[in-house]
Amino acid sequence: MKIGYYPGCAITKGATSEEYGTSVMKVSEVIGPKIEEIPDWSCCGASSAHATNHKLSTALSVRNLSLAEQHEYEEILAPCPMCSQRLIISQKDVQDDDVLKREVEDAIEMPCGTNVKVSNYLEIIKNYSMDEIKQKIKKTAKGLKVACYYGCLLVRPPKVLKFDDPEDPQSMDEIVRAIGAEPIDWEFKTNCCGGGFTLSRPDVVVKLTNDILEGAQEAGAHAIAVACPMCHANLDMRQKKIEKEYKRKYDIPIVYISELIGLALGLGAIGLGLDKHFVDTKSVVDAYT
Amino acid sequence: MSNETTFEPRIVAFLCNWCTYAGADLAGTGRKQYQANVRIIKLPCTGGIDPLFLIKAFERGADGILVSGCHPGDCHYNSGNYHARRRWNVFKPLLEFCGINPDRIQFSWISAAEGGKWVETINSVIDAVRVLGPFEGYQKINAIGPEGPGEGFAPSSDTTGCECK
Amino acid sequence: MGKKVGVFVCHCGTNISATVDVEKVAEEAKKKYPGVSYATTYKYMCSDPGQKLLRDKIKEEGLTGVVVAACSPKMHERTFRNAAVKTGLNPYQVEVSNIREQCSWVHQDKAVGTEKSIDLVRMMTEKTRKDTSLDAIKVPVTKRALVIGGGIAGIQAALDIADGGNEVILVEKDASIGGHMAQLSETFPTLDCSQCILTPRMVEVAQHENIKLYTWSQVESVGGYIGNFDVKIRKKARAVDLDLCTGCSSCWQVCPSKKIKSEFDTELGNRTAIYIPFPQAIPSKPVIDKEHCLLYRDARKKNIPPEDSKVCRKCYDVCPIAPVKAIDYAQEDEIVEVKVGAIVVATGYKELPNNVYGEYGKGKYQDVITGLQFERLASASGPTEGEIRRPSDGKEPEIIVFIQCVGSRDPAKGCSYCSKTCCMYTAKHAMLYKHKVHHGHAFVFYIDIRCAGKNYEEFSLRAIEEEGATYLRGRVSRIYKKGEKLIVLGADTLTGSQVEIEADMVVLASAMKAQDDAEVVARTLSIQYDKDRFFSELHPKLRPVESSNAGIFLAGACQGPKDIPETVAQASGAAAKVMALLSSDELEREPVVAKVDRLPPPVFSTCIGCFYCQRVCPYGAIEQEDIKARDGSVIKTVARVNEGLCQGCGLCAATCRSKSVELAGFSDEQVYAEINSVEFN
Amino acid sequence: MIEALRKKAEELLKNKTVSVVFGYGEGSTPERTRPVFITKPEEVNKLTWNKYCVYNLTTYLKRQETRKLGKPAIVVKGCDARTLIVLMKESQIKREDVYILGVSCDGVGDPLAEKCKACDVHTPRIYDDLIGEKGENKELPFDERYAELDEYENLSEKEKWEFWQKQFEKCIKCYACSNICPLCFCDRCIVEKNQPQWIDPSAHARGNLSWNVTRAYHLAGRCINCEECQRVCPVDIPLNLLNKKLAKEAEKNFNYRPGYNIDDELAMSTYNEKDNQDFVR
């Protein structure tokens, strides 16, 4: 089976979170499944588009689904949860609304891609690669306490996404356990990081991210694992500012789950992009033996 | 038979006493308007509806039939509608196999509280049959009988055998 | 001789005549329908003069059948039939054609309505021509009632019926009667102590000469029908002989298993393995919890009879009864068979457990408790002797948050309904809390405050105005633990702001749900239940205590969420119904029952004895009958309907391939005539 | 096999286990067989067994004339044995009142009967004695067993109607179909009921649809597709197509095959709360 890879604007080459994309690609080369970038993909219609024009954002999103179906992909991996959520919701919207479907088809000049399955990164790893991880693991991060932070987009809205338990998701915890690290039980797995307000209301973001960092630290986390470029940016990039504002030292590395897997597979830290983070990730890299 | 200009479908509805008949009453109490093309026959339970009743209704000129009773689990007699559902599960495909359009014989669960659903359902059955047109096939066979065209009402003594009273 | 049918078309004021030309309907009937010898219209057929007209014309015209074209038969079929009886006409020769609910009210066009009415009246006339006279079936009544469930509903019903001079059998599945009400601290809106008002009634039950009490028992099966139910009750082995035991308490004092979570104390307190649920239990005699008792555990492990285990026999040893001890490890379940004439179902409700909401911690926070748990905390007989203390560390909570509608009004959690009692008990909780923790602060999150009831509104206002509880209109989105505190995140929709409260304890006003085994009970009793598994009343307004199965009545929260006053009222209502039923020696039932044909020899019956009818009958009303020759040899075995059991659904008739079974009132001839006369205009 | 059959029959008659043996005998030509009812041990040589034994002898269990002969031993193929199971479930015979001489069968008819094409009861599933080798009854896939229907199910609605009308028009209401059917055992058939007369019994097209549809429906969840109705129909109406269609629906919807397992509840006398209701509004 071929899986189409949809990087989206945040993690594609040269983008702010390209280390997520890079590490996803590198990990997939080792443990599969085989992924191929969907040719000519476009914006998923997130952020400005879906806030201002429903039809436009739906058309943008569905265009990618249609492209994927044209290239005969049965499943799409969209590692950025903003993208996977937009793709899934748009697909449902056109499935449920014939009028919208026709309008979108007029706009994109293709039949709507209503059949292709859209998966986030955790889903792909869980469904295809858990055994591979166990077989190909080279190093384990024994003793590394990881707070798995899912954020809001991976599991919500649960009625549409139907992925994991929206109040207490476990899929990332399972992956962390598979690479020999220790997922901790903590309270903020699905709390909001303030994503949407990152530019308009940084004060809100700072408060919300502080709650998350504080929760992780109190639960004894050595690192926070994420699967979302937005979460990563807010927790990693703003950590210094938060520390200053709340007069509290965190110094908690924020790492992508794909980077954690990569390290376990013996891939180089720099190749995985662990040098590109604001908070030093050395402690995480060193935890692998 | 059918009027050349406008065809008005003739629907016979077999309703259970406890749910759908009461639901149809509720539609009335709420003055919910619907098309008048239906004649209702009340029976205690859908479980008591013999497929012969439906065949007879077609013989007597019905263009479509609706059978409706309590939702599963709500049967006044506990399991009547479950048994009925079994029957229709084989009887409906049999009629379809013989070339009767599925829209001419329809089933629904309508509770005593669902006056609105009764109106929607009966209207849509009538509309569906209106699209299909008169059940000419059956009317043709009826016309072959020795008593001439089977259409219309004949005093019951002619058709129910001898009246030994 | 053919039947002489009279047709009476009702105007119903203008309800019918406005959209149906009633005169024309009557005219058509008279002119065209075979067998119609008289037809007329009248303004109000159901009125006294209307009924008189009916009676007079039956006599004058010598009518042998009647069709009244009027409102739904559900309204006045009985009225017209009763009127006919007075003239000597059999009531089942009277039929109602529904031209109001199913014609005049739903079709505007007068021409259309008139045509349809003509058809409807004709169909009913044809049916009437095939009507046969039927006699009501008389069945004797067993003057004894069964009450299932020993909560306040069951207690009230049992006492009322017993006071009326009838025998009552009260069955309770737990070791003591009392139900949820025994667990409550104080009751709204008067704040009187729940146990203080309940326990005297419990004692009354125990001492009433007309009441036979079976605790630790369950109804196993119910057969029969109104007036004559056959009930099997399973008395579960309690390992204690109730006749010998005096309830001296020696055994539970010596029991070494002391750390078993008490169900009565909502797991906030402990009990022993041999125990009475609470001090005022009725009967005040213990039961052994075989799950936890060391002896039974040992016996299970070694696969030996419990009486052979030697692990711990402290309760037996200490039992002062002689010569035979009251403790009997070998006791087995016993099945008791009783006959009763009526049944009251009062099986109560279940509280939604606190592990349903992920956002409230899914039950992992000890200090997030349910309303019922708070009742135990606030109860003087509870695990904290009435002091409000946190389950986790025993500290007094200084900030407490109450959340209403947890489960209720939330279709996502399976309860779309309002649990009705929570607004009131939350107000009560806030008050009790303030009475006990003077410096504390109570917050209440609510969607709406629904306190409709006598003195209820005043009561809830008291919580706000006098006791100073802070009511916030909004939902709580999240509870999480931070150190020793519970952080409660919510919305205050009146100010449009986010609220974050550092609370010490959270109380969830959890929904009242149907009992887990409600479906099983419903099936055992052959009664209906609704989408939420609460038992259905026969009519939501006019028959609120009758179930769908005649002779079985409903009381209390098994029919839907209710508070105590409502429960007691319904229980007394059910009791009144039971007493009315038991007051007569014989019952009359609608003769709408099935009958298998019988013919002269050599056929005897067209029934061939395939017994499909027996298999489909929901009531076990079909029996096998051997038709025997003179020498006693069986000629054929055929079906026979037990009229007492038959409820008249007609399943058998529709299943019978040779149509050897017919349903009286809906006979083959009648249905045929009705279908055969469908004629559209 | 014939020898074994005759020997067994002789033994049963001699030791009075049964008073009659229902079996197949030589017909007027080699391609024909006819039913024989043997009551004397010395007559067992009349019994035969060959590929022309297409009939389902269980139909004689319902007839007064043959019932009078006393407890029978009956020769049944695997398919016929399924009828026996249905008859037992429907209280028409008791297990102890019939001695079952099962024959293993590779198919009958020349050319091979339609019913044998997807046979998965070469060895009867119930018998007292088995004549012939015990073979394996490999269950065939659902689609294969009902493949005969595909052609007709794929017709358009209009074609279906016309096809069946053409067939039913031929019906002369001779009731051979119900007379031969071992499961049409009512003392009074519904078509004989005249108060009221649900089905017009006279030999003209009116009422033919009612009759043929009702006959088939009354066999729903019961018919084991022995094809006897179709075989005896003097005007060649493919009656078994209707029966088979119902068998298919019963198996698809209720996972039930009549006469297959004696412990199965009769399909049309029971229900499952999860029965299909896609067609219900």
Written as six digits, the tokens of A62 are 């569905």
pLDDT confidence bin for B2, thresholds 50/70/90: very low
CATH code at position C453: 3.50.50.60
Sheet with strand B38-43: strands edge to edge: B38-43, B11-16, B64-69, B105-109
Computed over every residue of chain B, the mean pLDDT equals 83
User: Looking at the domain assignment, is residue B110 inside a domain?
Assistant: yes
User: Looking at the domain assignment, is residue C672 inside a domain?
Assistant: no
Min Cα separation C583/chain D (Å): 39
The yes-or-no verdict on residue B141 having pLDDT over 80 is no
CA atoms of A256 and C431, how far apart (whole Å): 50
The yes-or-no verdict on residue B1 having pLDDT over 50 is no
Query: pLDDT tens digits for C634-663?
Result: 888 999 999 878 889 999 999 999 999 999
Do C669 and D196 count as a contact with CB atoms less than 8 A apart? yes
pLDDT confidence bin for B156, thresholds 50/70/90: very low
User: Looking at the domain assignment, is residue B5 inside a domain?
Assistant: no
Instruction: Compare CB distances from C358 to A168, A191, A215 and report the shortest one's residue.
Output: A168
User: Looking at the domain assignment, is residue C544 inside a domain?
Assistant: yes
DSSP string covering C448-474:
-----STTHHHHHHHHHHTT--EEEES
Task: Give B56's contacts in chain C (Cβ within 8 Å).
Answer: 672, 675-676
How much is the average pLDDT of B29-34?
90
In C483-565, DSSP assigns E strands to 485-492, 497-503, 505-510, 512-514, 552-554
Q: Is the dihedral of CA C550, C552, C558, C560 positive or negative?
A: positive
Please give the interface size between B and D, counted as residue pairs whose CB atoms are below 8 Å apart: 138
Chain C residue with the nearest C-alpha to that of D267:
C612
- Assess whether C502 and C381 both reside in one domain: yes
Q: Give the ipTM of the model, two decimals please.
A: 0.64
Do D281 and B161 count as a contact with CB atoms less than 8 A apart? no
Specify the higher pLDDT residue, B135 or C372.
C372
Min Cα separation B99/chain C (Å): 23
- Assess whether C499 and C643 both reside in one domain: no
Do A167 and C481 count as a contact with CB atoms less than 8 A apart? no
Task: Give B40's contacts in chain C (Cβ within 8 Å).
Answer: 98, 102, 120
User: Looking at the domain assignment, is residue B3 inside a domain?
Assistant: no
C106: containing domain: 5-129
- Asked if C523 reaches chain D (Cβ–Cβ under 8 Å), the answer is no
CB B42 within 8 A of CB B71: no
- Asked if D198 reaches chain B (Cβ–Cβ under 8 Å), the answer is yes
Computed over every residue of chain A, the mean pLDDT equals 91
Q: Is the dihedral of CA D156, D160, D166, D169 positive or negative?
A: negative
The yes-or-no verdict on residue C568 having pLDDT over 80 is yes
Domain finish residue from C97, C129, C161: C129
Please give the interface size between A and C, counted as residue pairs whose CB atoms are below 8 Å apart: 17
User: Looking at the domain assignment, is residue B158 inside a domain?
Assistant: no
In order of B42, B48, C87, C670, the CA distances from C590 in angstroms are: 17, 17, 20, 17
The C-alpha R_g of chain A, in whole angstroms, comes to: 19
Min Cα separation C180/chain B (Å): 29
Task: Give C481's contacts in chain A (Cβ within 8 Å).
Answer: 187
Written as six digits, the tokens of D163 are 């096809």
CATH code at position B22: 3.40.50
Query: pLDDT tens digits for B43-66?
Result: 999 999 999 999 999 988 899 999
- Assess whether C356 and C503 both reside in one domain: yes
Do C672 and D198 count as a contact with CB atoms less than 8 A apart? yes
Share of residues in chain A with pLDDT > 90 (%): 67
Min Cα separation B142/chain D (Å): 5
CA atoms of C347 and C146, how far apart (whole Å): 12
Specify the higher pLDDT residue, C603 or D88.
D88
- Assess whether C107 and C118 both reside in one domain: yes
- Asked if B123 reaches chain D (Cβ–Cβ under 8 Å), the answer is no
- Assess whether C50 and C109 both reside in one domain: yes
- Assess whether C266 and C226 both reside in one domain: no
- Assess whether C576 and C624 both reside in one domain: no
- Assess whether C410 and C476 both reside in one domain: yes
Chain D residue with the nearest C-alpha to that of C597:
D188
Q: Which residues of C136-158 are buried (b: 16+ CB within 10 A; e: fewer)?
A: ebebebbbbbbbbbbbbbbbbbb
Do C481 and A187 count as a contact with CB atoms less than 8 A apart? yes
DSSP string covering C5-25:
EEEEEE-TTTTTTTTS-HHHH
Chain A residue with the nearest C-alpha to that of C486:
A187
User: Looking at the domain assignment, is residue B150 inside a domain?
Assistant: no
Instruction: Compare CB distances from B86 to D197, D246, D275 and report the shortest one's residue.
Output: D275
Task: Give A149's contacts in chain C (Cβ within 8 Å).
Answer: none
DSSP string covering B11-77:
EEEEEETTTHHHHHHHHHHTT----S-EEEEEES-GGG--HHHHHHHHHTT-SEEEEEEPPTT--TT
Query: pLDDT tens digits for D32-69?
Result: 899 999 999 999 999 999 999 999 999 999 988 898 89
* Domains of chain A, CATH where assigned: 3-119 (1.20.1050.140), 137-287 (3.40.50.11810)
- Assess whether C383 and C470 both reside in one domain: yes
Please give the single-letter amino acid code of residue C351. E
Looking at residue B161, its pLDDT comes to 37
Task: Give B28's contacts in chain C (Cβ within 8 Å).
Answer: 72, 100-102, 105-106
Domain finish residue from C129, C161, C181: C129
Min Cα separation B110/chain D (Å): 9
User: Looking at the domain assignment, is residue B159 inside a domain?
Assistant: no
- Assess whether C190 and C232 both reside in one domain: yes
Neighbours of chain C (3+ CB pairs under 8 A): A, B, D
Do B31 and C106 count as a contact with CB atoms less than 8 A apart? yes
pTM for the whole thing?
A: 0.68
User: Looking at the domain assignment, is residue B23 inside a domain?
Assistant: yes
Please give the interface size between B and C, counted as residue pairs whose CB atoms are below 8 Å apart: 151
pLDDT confidence bin for C25, thresholds 50/70/90: very high
Computed over every residue of chain C, the mean pLDDT equals 93
Q: Please, do chains B and D touch (3+ CB pairs < 8 Å)? A: yes
Min Cα separation D212/chain B (Å): 10
Do D186 and C673 count as a contact with CB atoms less than 8 A apart? no
Q: How many domains does chain B have?
A: 1
B42: containing domain: 11-143
User: Looking at the domain assignment, is residue C328 inside a domain?
Assistant: no
The yes-or-no verdict on residue C96 having pLDDT over 70 is yes
User: Looking at the domain assignment, is residue B156 inside a domain?
Assistant: no
Backbone angles phi, psi at B24, to 5 degrees: -70, -35
CA atoms of D68 and D63, how far apart (whole Å): 9
pLDDT confidence bin for A225, thresholds 50/70/90: very high
pLDDT confidence bin for B5, thresholds 50/70/90: low
Looking at residue B144, its pLDDT comes to 59
CA atoms of A236 and D111, how far apart (whole Å): 82
- Assess whether C341 and C213 both reside in one domain: yes
**Which residue ranges make up each domain of chain D?**
2-131, 142-269
* Omega prior to A33 cis, within 30 of 0: yes
DSSP string covering C278-303:
STT-SS---EE-TTT-HHHHHHHHHT
CA atoms of C279 and C273, how far apart (whole Å): 15
Neighbours of chain A (3+ CB pairs under 8 A): C
Share of residues in chain C with pLDDT > 90 (%): 85
| Disruptive mutation site among B25, B67, B71, B135 for chain C (greatest number of C CBs within 10 Å) | B25
User: Looking at the domain assignment, is residue C680 inside a domain?
Assistant: no
Chain B residue with the nearest C-alpha to that of C668:
B53
- Asked if D192 reaches chain B (Cβ–Cβ under 8 Å), the answer is no
The yes-or-no verdict on residue C52 having pLDDT over 80 is yes
How much is the average pLDDT of C488-495?
96
Q: How many domains does chain C have?
A: 5
- Assess whether C571 and C619 both reside in one domain: no
Window 126-165 of D: residues touching B by CB (8 A cutoff) are: 152-153, 155, 157-165
Specify the higher pLDDT residue, C256 or B145.
C256
